[in-house]
Amino acid sequence: MTGESIPDPFTGHPDWSLDPPRSIVPTPASMSGQLRGRRVLIGLPGHGWRADLRADEKVIQGSRTYVPVMPESEWYRAEAEQTEVFAPLVPIERVWVEEVGLAGALSLDKGLTTRLVSLDEPPRKAAVAALEAGSITGRRVVELLEDGGERRDMRAVTELHTNDVGDICARVAAELDWYRWGWSGKAPRTLEVPIHLLWVE
């Protein structure tokens, strides 16, 4: 033993200093414009929230406004196959739209007090680096692009692994292809994303 330290393969990588993806900020549907195809949450303050849903345009019945809401998988199937699906009407005051917020808007401190939320509205969600996110297969992911942009609406189809040239990465697919895999059995086209560019929503 010479006492030399083992170099960290990630230290000094130019992309490690990139800002994390923007956080998800739920906004009341009554404050949003067009809703068709938007990712939404439904629920009641003080009770709880349901996610992985998509909305259609608002419907007015009498004096009340409703939002047709369906599971995300049904939305993608209806759009891909041009079919109609059942979408229950949810009162607009119980629907929140997932908006992309400002970069760096949330603290990355993982202490307990920073994780406590109010039950008056759905919590904001900061992206987590794939390296720190635990199991990622099937989860919503964001790829940071070299120009500073973000690629969203994707799902991880593998865990982190080492590719043929020794880089740590994961394979991802467009969300439509991810869901089509479930209803048709057709394996999705995938993209290899290096670990330092991959975040979990």
137 with 179, same domain?
Answer: yes
82 belongs to a structural domain: yes
11 belongs to a structural domain: no
Which of 85, 101, 126 is the endpoint of a domain?
Answer: 126
Helices (H) and strands (E) in the chain, counts: 3, 14
Q: Which range marks the domain in which residue 176 is found?
A: 127-201
69 with 95, same domain?
Answer: yes
Alpha helices in the chain (DSSP H): 72-81, 112-115, 175-184
pLDDT per residue as tens, the chain (201 positions) = 444 443 444 444 444 567 889 999 999 999 988 999 999 999 998 899 999 999 999 999 999 999 999 999 999 999 999 999 999 999 999 999 999 986 554 444 555 556 788 888 999 989 999 999 999 999 999 999 988 899 999 999 999 999 999 999 999 999 999 999 999 999 999 999 999 999 999
Q: Which residues of 1-23 are buried (b: 16+ CB within 10 A; e: fewer)?
A: eeeeeeeeeeeeeeeeeeebbbb
Rounded distance between C-alpha atoms, residue 200 and residue 130, angstroms: 6
5 belongs to a structural domain: no
Contacts of 3 (CB under 8 A, 6+ apart): none
Rounded distance between C-alpha atoms, residue 200 and residue 32, angstroms: 25
30 with 105, same domain?
Answer: yes
12 belongs to a structural domain: no
Distance between the two ends of the chain, CA-based, in angstroms?
Answer: 43
Which of 82, 102, 126 is the endpoint of a domain?
Answer: 126
Diameter of the chain measured on Cα atoms = 80
196 belongs to a structural domain: yes
45 with 85, same domain?
Answer: yes
Rounded distance between C-alpha atoms, residue 127 and residue 139, angstroms: 12
Tallying the residues shown for the chain, one arrives at: 201
133 with 158, same domain?
Answer: yes
The total domain count for the chain is 2
106 with 147, same domain?
Answer: no
Check: CB of residue 29 under 8 Å from CB of residue 54: no
